[in-house]
Homo-oligomer: A and B are copies of this chain.
Amino acid sequence: MTSGPAKRGRRPGAPDTRAAILDAARSLFATQGYSGTTIRAVAAAAGVDGALVHHYFGTKDDLFVAALDIPVDPRQILAPVVAGGADGAAERFLLAFLSVWDDPDVRPALLTVARTMMEPATQRVFADGFLPVVIGPLGVALDLDRPELRMPLVASQVVGLILLRYVLLVEPLASMPTEQVVATYAPTLQRYLTGPLP
């Protein structure tokens, strides 16, 4: 993020302290969660004064949303998954999902979101927000039977995988090649999507 093409001539009076603050905030939010990162810690990590953080970004909430900057649209990622129909949807879903998480430009933002979803104060955002508005519609778009049952099953496996592989970095999941992850979890998800259920 900090490394752009070097501009010609003298740099302006404000070097990149705004970007430095944003980078520090991204890193701290991703590792310490929202309530765990203080404005002062962000300022210290960026090597500037705490007041500058407010000067550039206003309140702490403003800094948080500025640091998020999710560079992906979930519906756009999920479009090819629904386009192929229910057959093989598990494999396409895993591929789409992992390709986003394995992108080093996107992962920090997703880690931030994941950590924040775990905090008690914001955890209903996942249960009442993300799940019904992005995962739920995927089930009806795939024309599953009982999607209101099957999609939470899918979510329960994907959330656990994300947590161990990307957040907690549990081996050997963390270092496993994408293709092996897909091949390992696709049968599970395909059964949840279209297989027989009690």
Contact = CB atoms under 8 A, between A and B. Distances in A.
- Number of contact residues on A: which range applies? 35 or more
Given A35-B35, A126-B168, A160-B161, A184 B153 contact: yes
B152 A172 contact: yes
A120 B115 contact: yes
Given A115-B120, A170-B127, A157 B155 contact: no
Contacts of A121: 36
A131 interface: yes
Contacts of A161: 156, 160
Contacts of A158: 160
A69 interface: no
A32 interface: yes
A198 B191 CA distance: 17
B149 A156 contact: no
Contact of A184 (B35, B172, B197): B197
A96 to B, nearest CB: 18
Contacts of A32: 120
A184 B170 CA distance: 25
A22 B140 CA distance: 46
Contacts of A119: 33, 36, 118
